[in-house]
Amino acid sequence: MERKRFAVIGVGGWGSRHVSAYADHPLVEVVAICDRNRKALDAMGNKFGIQNRYEDHRQMFESEELDAVSIVTPDFAHAELAVAAIQNGVNVLIEKPLATSLEECDRIGQALRQHPVKFMVDFHNRWNPAMVKFKKAIDRGEVGEVQMGFYRLSDNIFVPTEMLSWAARSTVNWFLGSHCIDTLMWLLDNAVREVYTVRRSKVLKGMGINTPDSYQSLLTFRKGATVFLENSWILPRSHPLIDFKVQLIGDKGTLNYDGRPHLVEQFGPQKLEWPDLVVCPEVHGSPRGFGIDSIRYFADCVCLDREPMCGFDDGRKVTLVMLAMEESADTGKPCRIPPGA
């Protein structure tokens, strides 16, 4: 089978995961990468032997014959790139969130109607083995109907202060909350009816980074379940990078997950480390983990001509809920989401 020609836009940070996942796929050739940061572009190109490097996505689409592209840019910089790819007939894997406004979502949707391609939003917790176990248990009725729950996904303060140069142009709600909303709607097979969100800002603004510290939200689903959602960017630097915990309580049973991806502790003379063994570990030189599995899944869909899950509609529904959370935080009042919106 002829290898498919893939490209990645945005190769710093998580974009490196996309490049490594595709480079490890037997049916994919990474033929081009694109990034405004020349240093990051050259570092990734040199590491994986990718010669075609672009600082402008328009030039890349004009010059390359591509089967698929990953868009791994900041939250607010998705729509223009997605529309350009779609209009060039290129299949798209886009990082969450789909976009940060309904107007941008609908620009992408219009492009997809005019130029149908395979399109997937990278909500990779659908490949998290624990969440897959949750899904099976719920679908089989093993916990009955979910009545209430708790979901925490937070990062330590390294993420907004050092890892993300663009943290002030986003929020922990968009960066982490979007994962949570998709996972919950997928698990419960249910849409969110109403949100009530409290947003707090102190620590990061005091450091000169104009973005909220935390969001706490009560989500009410259309079938009646309520889930308390917590996202924060101010866990101490000494804390493991991610704090991920989920509890779902049904009328017949309960599911609990303590999802810290740090099952091994490595003690050194000056520091304690928690190697990642779950999200994106490396095993014998190959990328593994559910953060890679979703990317490989998209590649399989392109190579084997399958329609991917986590499509445009799923991404738009998440953005709709996220915007309702921001409105609730602004007004201090619950915000309802119209049926079928």
Of the candidates 244, 246, 215, 209, the one whose C-alpha atom is nearest the C-alpha of residue 322 is 215
> pLDDT tens-digit profile of 19-68?
999 999 999 999 999 999 999 999 999 999 999 999 999 999 999 999 99
Q: Which two tokens stand for residue 47?
A: 């590491």
What predicted TM-score, i.e. pTM, was given to this entire model? Answer: 0.94
pLDDT tops 90 at residue 12: no
Q: Where are the domains of the chain?
A: 4-125+293-310, 126-278+318-336
**Residues sharing a CB contact under 8 Å with residue 270, sequence separation 6 or more, in sequence order:** none
Q: What is the mean pLDDT of residues 282-302?
A: 94
Model confidence pLDDT, tens digit, residues 240-291? 889 999 999 999 999 999 976 556 777 888 777 777 878 888 889 899 999 9
> For the domain 4-125+293-310, what is the CATH code?
3.40.50.720
| pLDDT score of 13 | 87
Any idea which residue has 């738009």 for tokens?
A: 316
Amino acid 71: pLDDT: 98
Q: What is the CATH number of domain 126-278+318-336?
A: 3.30.360.10
Query: Are 30 and 48 contacting, i.e. CB atoms less than 8 angstroms apart?
Result: yes
Asked whether 158 and 237 are in contact (CB, 8 A), the reply is: yes
